[in-house]
Amino acid sequence: MSKREFTVSNEYTYNHSSPTRWIISHLYRYKFIVLFYMIVAITVNLAFSETRVLVGNAFDAVLRGDGAQIGIIALEMLGLVIFCGLVDITARFSIEVIARRFSRDAREELYTSLLGKSQSFHNRQRVGDIMARATNDMSQVGDMVSPGFDIIYDSFSSMFAILFFIGLLDVRLLLVPLLYLVVFGFSLWHYSRRLNPVSRQMREQFGTTNAILNEAVTGIEVIKSTSQEEQENTKFAHNATMYRDLFVKNGVIQGQYLPTLLLGIALAFCFLHGLFLLLQHQISVGQLVAFIGLASNMRFVTDMSTWSFNLVQLGVAGGRRIIGMIKQDTELDENEHGYNAEIKGEIVFENISFSYGEAPILKNVSFRALPGQTIAIVGQTGSGKSTMTKLVNRIYDASEGRVLIDGQDTRDWSLDALRSQISTIEQDVFLFSRSIAENIAYGLGQKANQAAIEAAAHDAQAHDFIMGFKEGYETVIGERGVMLSGGQRQRLAIARALLTDPRILILDDSTSAIDSATEDEIQKAIKRVLQNRTTLLITHRISQIRWADKVLVVRNGEIIDQGTHEELMDRCYTYQRIFSHYDSAPATSVAPSAVVNSAD
């Protein structure tokens, strides 16, 4: 079992060792419905084949001039046809239930697995590709069961019924149908082998094309502002053409389906064989008619196989892509039974080094924050400030060294216990397209009440602007909060953090987008949110740096000095360069990156 950051209790375990096993393990979950379907489907086919035998019997009765027998046969036929119709509905209904449950379960499985993947995993993935797997591959998997598997099973059970009744007519009549079956099986195997790789490539190509489309729609602003429509269009057209070519290739293989030709030959031989036995007085005319009727039923088996095998191929290919994603390794483990306690708030970085890839981003970083302290982090852009904070709640793990929270290595903490007590307010606040109340209450799930939400919004200086909307707290904000200004989004994020009452708070440049009119309100909100918790504060604002108990000066992934604002002003040249001309200025913001860069 690979590592996961999130699991659901009582989760059903599926077999991921191969796509086929995965599919079987899903179907096994509904074994009784599957069994019911299989019995019912075979019953329908037996009943249907019996009608052919009745036609043969009717022929014999006509030749004998036995009117009474003809009447009985007609009634039997009527009864059988009604029975077939009714039972067939049950079979179709049960297979449809299985197919849709399968799709639903597989969707849930993929979704849970995605929630359990690490940030590094999601950094690597393309959203469009994930979406293709979650939508298209999922419906392929459902269609594989119904109509795909349904038709195949129906075909084979119908074949079984055909052979059964032919055997009852006269065992010798089985000769040609059995020979046909062997040749049919072989050509089907050959057909699947050719179709399989093309189906797989089609799925892959669909994912890529979808990812390009998704990226273009998400980044439409950049495309337009840089006039790159032409380039994007060419790229998309190239990929769409590749998808089309694969589709055509798929069609060509399907068009070369040999069993249709083979069936024609088989039927001709069946007729010759039957005729031969009739002329030898080995079988009756009625038996010959029944035999030909049954043999021509093999047409359903042959025709249906083309399309349904394609559906199964596509389903298996889809399943392979889905489990491919589910099985992909992720770096962190939920550590469900790890250390679990209320965080007091001590953070210790012990000789931390970290890199996303080859290049080291943090080098031998050490510092200590006592419970309740505010630690400001300043440094040039790209120096590794945000990365440092991402090691605290284990978005990433350090490559070397240890991060200790209350003396415990973060790797020993239960991930849920750790993360649920740490909140981050980032530069780019993410809001869901839900109501404002739901966005504020997000960290608490369903547990927050309206009064608590409003109190948090008051403290975050967000209440007034929220009440300015017609729907107040029930206002649904657009995707990614586009209806709100940067400052409003950040105040909602502060309200969210206040509500969850985290023991450790990470504020990453959180006030950079705020205009001066709301500056005071925000300062109040931030000051309020810092109280009674350990805070790592990445900021460009001198007023906030003054609140800090300690300031870390970061350059190229190293802490070059640390101390209080006053100490650093006294002894750190780089720090002096950043803040000297703001020393007597009122609370305001600076862009230390620019200054530090020039100091370098």
Q: Which residues of 202-224 are buried (b: 16+ CB within 10 A; e: fewer)?
A: bbbbbbbbbbbbbbbeeeeeebe
In whole angstroms, the minimum distance from the beta carbon of 413 to ligand ATP comes to 22
123 is a contact residue toward ligand ATP (CB under 6 A): yes
381 is a contact residue toward ligand ATP (CB under 6 A): yes
Q: What are phi and psi of 409, to 5 degrees?
A: -55, 135
Number of residues that bind ligand ATP (CB under 6 A): 11
297 is a contact residue toward ligand ATP (CB under 6 A): no
Of 89-97, 226-234, 363-371, 378-386, the segment contacting ligand ATP by CB under 6 A is: 378-386
Spell out the alpha helix ranges (H) of 219-228. Answer: 220-225
In whole angstroms, the minimum distance from the beta carbon of 384 to ligand ATP comes to 4
Residues 437/443/449/451 CA torsion (nearest 10 deg): -70
Which of residues 295 and 378 has its CB atom nearest to ligand ATP in the complex? 378
Secondary structure class of 377 (helix, strand, coil): strand
SS3 string, 81-102, reads: HHHHHHHHHHHHHHHHHHHHHH
Of 46-54, 308-316, 324-332, 382-390, the segment contacting ligand ATP by CB under 6 A is: 382-390
Of 85-93, 186-194, 336-344, 383-391, the segment contacting ligand ATP by CB under 6 A is: 383-391
Secondary structure class of 45 (helix, strand, coil): helix
Which of residues 120 and 408 has its CB atom nearest to ligand ATP in the complex? 120
Nearest to 12 by CA among 76, 128, 102, 97: 102
Nearest to 310 by CA among 192, 204, 200, 197: 192
In whole angstroms, the minimum distance from the beta carbon of 391 to ligand ATP comes to 10
358 is a contact residue toward ligand ATP (CB under 6 A): no
574 is a contact residue toward ligand ATP (CB under 6 A): no
Cis status, amide bond into 502, omega within 30 of 0:
no
Nearest to 236 by CA among 204, 202, 212, 211: 212
461 is a contact residue toward ligand ATP (CB under 6 A): no
386 is a contact residue toward ligand ATP (CB under 6 A): yes
Cα–Cα distance, 296 to 298 (Å, whole number): 5
Which of residues 93 and 356 has its CB atom nearest to ligand ATP in the complex? 356
387 is a contact residue toward ligand ATP (CB under 6 A): yes
592 is a contact residue toward ligand ATP (CB under 6 A): no
Which of residues 77 and 114 has its CB atom nearest to ligand ATP in the complex? 114
Query: Are residues 137 and 129 in contact, defined by beta-carbon separation less than 8 angstroms?
Result: no
Cα–Cα distance, 472 to 457 (Å, whole number): 12
Residues 119/121/126/131 CA torsion (nearest 10 deg): -90
Pair type for strands 504-508 and 534-538? parallel
In whole angstroms, the minimum distance from the beta carbon of 377 to ligand ATP comes to 8
Which of residues 306 and 512 has its CB atom nearest to ligand ATP in the complex? 512
In whole angstroms, the minimum distance from the beta carbon of 452 to ligand ATP comes to 32
| Choice from 142, 319, 345, 384 touching ligand ATP (CB under 6 A) | 384
In whole angstroms, the minimum distance from the beta carbon of 519 to ligand ATP comes to 20
| Choice from 361, 391, 504, 536 touching ligand ATP (CB under 6 A) | 361
How many CB atoms sit inside 10 A of residue 357's CB?
6
Cα–Cα distance, 440 to 424 (Å, whole number): 13
| Choice from 71, 79, 251, 382 touching ligand ATP (CB under 6 A) | 382
Pair type for strands 504-508 and 360-369? unpaired
Of 98-106, 143-151, 253-261, 380-388, the segment contacting ligand ATP by CB under 6 A is: 380-388
383 is a contact residue toward ligand ATP (CB under 6 A): yes
- The one-letter amino acid at 179: L
385 is a contact residue toward ligand ATP (CB under 6 A): yes
| Choice from 12, 186, 356, 430 touching ligand ATP (CB under 6 A) | 356
Residues that bind ligand ATP (CB under 6 A): 123, 356, 361, 379, 381-387
